[in-house]
Chains A and B, each alone.
Chain A
Amino acid sequence: MKKFPAFIVSSTLLVILAACAEGGDDGEEALPEEPAASEETEDTEGTAEPEESEDSEGNEEEGSGDEVETGAVDTDTEATGDEETVLEFWIHQTGEEETEAYIERIDAFNEEHDDIYVDAEVIIDDGASAYSDSINAALVAGNLPDIMAVDGPYVAAFAESDVLQPIDDYIDDETIDGYVDSIIQQGTYQDELYSLGSMEASVLLYYNKDLLEEHGIEPAHSLDEAWTWKELHENAQELTTEDYYGLNLFMNEGVGEWLTFMGAPFIWSNGGELISEDGTEVEGYLNAEESLEAFEYIQTLFEDGVVSESPPETQFQEGEAAMALGGPWVGGMADDAGLNWGIMPYPYADEKYSPSGSMAYGVTSNSEHPEEAAELMKWMTNKESTIRVAEATGMPPAQEAAFEELDRFDDLPWSIMEEQVVETAKARPSTPAYPVLTDAFAETFHAAALGEDYESVANQQIQRVERELRRFQD
């Protein structure tokens, strides 16, 4: 009997372990008759083979686990068991309302298509690495879904590595024309189309109406009136007082994607590029005269004390900055704070460009049903879907025609966003080395902001990008 306590301890441990292993499963096992198809994302060592076509075509047991449980959200439609094709679909979750919009559209798709059933799984996207970690794990284990959400600028790396497959065969030109140009740019790698998105994004020059009035500064009311760099600099200087900064660049977001997303148009507008058009050369681009001039301009803004290098998150809505270059979400936050605000277009040097790009969808190479997956992708990004998602998120739609049905884009301030998305939006560079390139740009931008020697930082960063690019040369 002396061993009894130890036995209890060890058996409890085993039970707990077993419970953990089971606990991981039940969320995703939408259709239990598919053994290899739905595995947990964290299970990197799990069954490695992709979905077998026999599984999805043949076995149709009635009433077996029809309920779809996708992360925290349920879908309403249930599989009838008659569908010929089951598509596994990963969507990302940043906000509840957004996910609800996706689920609604997936339900509608399932109702519309008798022969296809979409088995959706919601994966949390914390803005850092949670979502890409899930993709990485599934990649190594070889159990990616048929279609998944991918971040726009990362499409090239997935395309180059044959993780995604081109969808040109399943889409006609007329459909392509419906999208705003930047979405097609973002989804294209080496002249082939890989992804489509339902959302666009932009960065706008928000301004505090009261403060501008106080200083007698007239804001721009349309894209044609957009401020030049010089105007931005002068007005921001005029607006900088002891109580508030002239401009906020949301440097509190850290040295990451935000700096590239927000800052790249400074380079483009001055005639520069981050990388060559085919995405293979960075020397002579990131450190070209045009780019260095742009970094110099950024540096001046900070040196003149117009922008804070570490602003509090709420600087603009609290009235501690007169203007801010921020995403579409800033408007809502300023409303909540009761601020009297407006929107101006992104400032320019020579040519007008504005940031663009958001999450999009891609069909994976191991999908047995690329045609159906492409069908789903088109559905998720069609006019109805883009309108629904735009309403849920406040982001601009990816379909040009959708703007007409969304009233808020008719007048100022949001009409500026429509103009930018339709006319000046430029996708971030399409290169497989994007993860390193974006960090290289952000580091250089940050060096400029800190008053450091951005040119030597740029040169050092270029070596990193070149090393990464070598991986793709063969």
Chain B
Amino acid sequence: MDSLKKQEEAEVYPKEPKPGRKPKQQRKKGLSAKRREALTGYFFLSPAIILLGIFLLYPMGAAFYYSFTDFYILTPDDRSFIGLDNFMFVFQDPEFIQAFWNTVYFTVIVVPVQLSVALGLALLINRKLKFRVFFRTAFFSPVVMSLVVVSILWTFMYNPSEGLINEMLAMIGIPEQPFLTSPDQAMNSIIAMSVWQGAGFQMMIFLAGLQNIPNHLYEAADIDGASPWQKFVHVTLPGLRNVSLFIFITITIAAFKLLVQPMIMTQGGPLGTTKSLVYHIYEAGFAYRDVGYASAMAVVFTVIVLVITIVQRILVKEERG
């Protein structure tokens, strides 16, 4: 920023000030240049601000307002203020409660599993293997694919009688598994697929973290006669602390926003065991046209995510200190 500022000033005051000019005038001119600079700044900011305003701030404000109304899509002009009714029902709605616990379950399993898988992959790839680039690309490629496409592919793979996974299981003598149609397995199947899809991205971040750990620490550990495990626990892990915390927070929030996988793979079933909070909100708003209630749930959802984030930030600070 500073260098840019200087350059601009240099343009405004070409070469040298004219002789005999009063210092007062100079200051005046300096101010207007500053203002002009500020204006330029806002000009460049404006696309971002306008887009944010239209697509983020306005909808958020609208959702907050609608959450206190009985906005029903079929009667958009006939909406009245109903106070906290929507919010009261949120906590009595058995589907919301089920969706909440489904989402918590998903998050609690996905976060540690995905974190460790990503770390494991990063450690594997960080060695000087022969086909390193190939593996790195292979592990990262699911991230590049659209989640919708991945979900459809995995739906085929999970198919009980014709799916790839069941055919492989059959080869080793395990009977057909109803992956997506059994209330006990459906969520776990979605978790497995989500970890596979997401871990590659965190792997890349871990990889960057690994390469940031100075090599002399390992050399020093070697001189002290540390075993590979000791090096991992006492050098690698502490070196990755900040990276891990960042990944921890982002995975948690992303996991809480689970939507595409149940929408495509199970439609929230069987028996609502894979219905996530966001999917429930989507259904209430679009399938059942109850925008007021959906908005109220969205507000509650935002608060939940906010609380989780704040708690995590406090934890992060403590660990740093």
B201 at the interface (CB under 8 A from A): no
What residues of chain A lie closer than 8 Å to B183, measured between beta carbons? 450, 452
Q: Considering the complex, give the chain B residue whose CB is closest to the CB of A141.
A: B76
Which stretch, A60-68, A195-203, A304-312, A349-357, touches the partner chain B?
A: A304-312
Would B270 and A312 count as touching, CB distance under 8 A? no
Which chain B residue shows the least CB distance to A17? B47
Bound form: Cα–Cα A462–B77 in Å:
29
B287 and A129 contacting across the interface, CB-CB below 8 Å: yes
CB distance B161 to A142 under 8 Å? no
Within 8 A of A (CB), among B253-291: 266-272, 286-290
Knowing A139-B73, A446-B271, A447-B271 touch, does A308 contact B7 (C-beta < 8 A)? no
Whether, in the assembled complex, B160 has its beta carbon less than 8 Å from a beta carbon of chain A, the answer is yes
**Considering only CB atoms, which chain B residue lies closest to A2 in the complex?**
B7
B76 to chain A, nearest CB (A): 5
Closest B-chain residue to A464, C-beta based?
B95
A59 at the B interface (CB under 8 A): no
Asked if B74 is at the interface of the complex by the 8 Å CB criterion, the answer is yes
- Inter-subunit contact B159/A139 (CB<8 Å): no
**Per a CB cutoff under 8 Å, which of A133, A255, A312 touches B269?**
A255
Q: Which residues of A contact B47 (CB under 8 A)?
A: 10, 13-14
- List residues 412-442 of chain A with CB under 8 A from any CB of chain B: 435-436, 439
Residues on B with C-beta less than 8 A from A163 are: 74
A268: which B residues are within 8 A, CB to CB?
A: none
With contacts A129-B287, A435-B287, A468-B288 known, is A309 near B74, CB below 8 A? no
Q: Per a CB cutoff under 8 Å, which of A129, A140, A310, A446 touches B159?
A: A310
Within the assembled complex, what's the spacing in Å between the Cα atoms of A196 and B176?
Answer: 46
Cα A160 to Cα B44 with chains together (Å): 50
Q: Is A161 an interface residue (CB 8 A)?
A: yes
Interface string of A443-458 (1 = CB under 8 A from B): 1001100101000010
Task: Say yes or no for B196: interface residue by CB 8 A criterion.
Answer: no
Indicate whether B142 reaches chain A with its CB closer than 8 angstroms: no
Shortest A470–chain B CB gap in Å is: 11
Q: How far is the CB of B71 from chain A (nearest CB, A)?
A: 9
- Is residue B162 within 8 Å, beta carbon to beta carbon, of the partner chain? yes
Give the contacts of A383-439 with B (CB-CB under 8 A): 435-436, 439
Interface residues of B in 60-88 (CB under 8 A from A): 70, 72-77
In the bound complex, what is the Cα–Cα distance between A439 and B95 (angstroms)? 13
B270 pairs with A450, CB closer than 8 A: yes
With A450-B183, A460-B94: A6-B44 Cβ-Cβ less than 8 Å:
yes
Whether B73 pairs with A310 at a CB distance below 8 angstroms is no
User: How many angstroms between the C-alpha atoms of A256 and B283 in the bound complex?
Assistant: 12
B292-316: contact bitstring with A at CB < 8 Å (1 yes, 0 no)?
0000000000000000000000000
Minimum CB–CB distance for A213 against chain B, Å: 25
Q: Do residues B267 and A255 form an inter-chain contact, with CB atoms below 8 A?
A: yes
A251 to B269, CA, bound (A): 12
Which residues of chain B come closer than 8 Å to A13, judged between CB atoms? 47
B178 in the interface, Cβ–Cβ < 8 Å? yes
Please count how many residues in chain A sit with their CB below 8 Å of the partner chain's CB atoms. Answer: 44
Q: Which residues of A contact B286 (CB under 8 A)?
A: 129, 132-133, 136
> Contact: A436 with B159, CB < 8 Å?
no
Distance from A189 Cβ to chain B, minimum over Cβ atoms (Å)? 13
Q: Collect the chain A residues with CB atoms within 8 Å of residue B72's CB.
A: 161, 471
| Contacting residues of chain B (133-167) with chain A, CB-CB under 8 angstroms | 159-162
Chain A at the B interface: SS class: helix
In the complex, what distance in Å separates the CA atom of A163 from the CA atom of B289?
14
Q: A161-B75, A256-B267 are in contact. Are A309 and B181 (CB under 8 A)?
A: yes
Residue in chain A with minimal CB distance to B50? A17
Tell me if B178 and A446 are in contact (CB < 8 A).
Answer: no
Measured between alpha carbons, how far is A162 from B89 in the docked complex, in Å?
27
Closest Cβ–Cβ distance, residue B152 to chain A (whole Å): 13
The minimal Cβ–Cβ distance linking A314 to chain B, given in whole angstroms, is: 9
Most buried by A among B40, B162, B289, B290: B289
The answer to the question of A71 belonging to the interface, with a C-beta cut-off of 8 Å to chain B, is no
B118 at the interface (CB under 8 A from A): no
In the complex, A136→B161 CA distance in Å?
39
Collect the chain B residues with CB atoms within 8 Å of residue A14's CB. Answer: 47
User: CB of B247 within 8 A of chain A?
Assistant: no
Check A136 against B178 for contact (C-beta < 8 Å).
no
Q: Is A254's CB under 8 angstroms from B269's CB?
A: yes
Q: Cβ of B121: which chain A residues have Cβ within 8 Å of it?
A: none
Q: Given that A2-B7, A157-B74, A163-B74 are known contacts, is A10 also in contact with B44, CB under 8 Å in the complex?
A: yes
Mark each residue of chain B from 26 to 69: 1 if its CB lies under 8 Å from any CB of chain A, else 0: 00000000000000100010010000000000000000000000
User: B180 contacts the other chain (Cβ, under 8 Å)?
Assistant: yes
Expressed in whole angstroms, the Cα–Cα distance for A157 and B47 within the complex equals: 41
Q: How far is the CB of A10 from chain B (nearest CB, A)?
A: 6
- Closest A residue by C-beta to B89: A467
B94: chain A residues at CB < 8 Å are 460, 463
Contacts of B77 in A (CB 8 A): 142
Question: Shortest Cβ distance from A130 into chain B, in angstroms?
Answer: 11
Report A154 CB to chain B, min CB distance, Å: 10
- The answer to whether B267 and A446 touch across the interface, beta carbons within 8 angstroms, is no
The answer to whether A310 touches B180, judged by C-beta atoms less than 8 angstroms apart, is yes
Contact of A436 among B4, B7, B271, B288 (CB under 8 A): B288
Please give me the residue from chain A that is nearest to B74 by CB atom.
Answer: A161
A435–B289 touching, CB < 8 Å? yes
- Is B269 a contact partner of A136 (Cβ separation < 8 A)? no
Q: How far is the CA of A255 from the CA of B159 in the complex (A)?
A: 16
Cβ contacts under 8 Å, B290 to chain A: 471
Nearest chain A residue, comparing its CB with the CB of B78: A161
- Cβ of B95: which chain A residues have Cβ within 8 Å of it? 464
State the Cβ distance, A466 to closest chain B Cβ, in Å: 13
B289–A308 touching, CB < 8 Å: no
How far apart are the CA atoms of A133 and B291 in the complex, in Å?
13
Q: Whose C-beta in chain B lies nearest to the C-beta of A312?
A: B162
Report the Cα distance A468→B268, complex, angstroms: 20
> Are B178 and A310 closer than 8 Å at their CB atoms?
yes
Judge whether B271 and A136 touch: CB under 8 Å: no
Contact A139 B74 (CB under 8 A): yes
Is A207 on the interface with B (CB-CB < 8 A)? Answer: no
Q: How far is the CA of A139 from the CA of B77 in the complex (A)?
A: 10
* B267 in contact with A310 (CB, 8 Å): no
Give the CA-CA distance A160 to B162 in the complex, in Å.
Answer: 45
Given contacts A10-B44, A139-B76, A140-B76, contact A254 B267 (CB under 8 A): yes
Contact of B178 among A160, A161, A309 (CB under 8 A): A309
Please determine whether A158 and B74 come into contact, CB atoms closer than 8 angstroms. yes
Q: Digit string of B210-251 for contact with A (CB within 8 Å is 1, else 0)?
A: 000000000000000000000000000000000000000000
**In the complex, what residue of chain B is closest to A14 when comparing beta carbons?**
B47
Q: How far is the CB of B261 from chain A (nearest CB, A)?
A: 14
Interface pairs A-B: 5 shortest CB-CB? A161-B74, A310-B181, A255-B269, A140-B76, A254-B267
Instruction: Supply 24 A–B pairs (Cβ within 8 Å), ascending by A.
Output: A2-B8, A2-B11, A3-B40, A14-B47, A133-B286, A136-B73, A136-B286, A139-B74, A139-B76, A158-B74, A251-B181, A254-B269, A310-B159, A310-B160, A310-B161, A310-B181, A312-B159, A312-B161, A436-B288, A439-B287, A443-B269, A443-B271, A450-B271, A471-B72
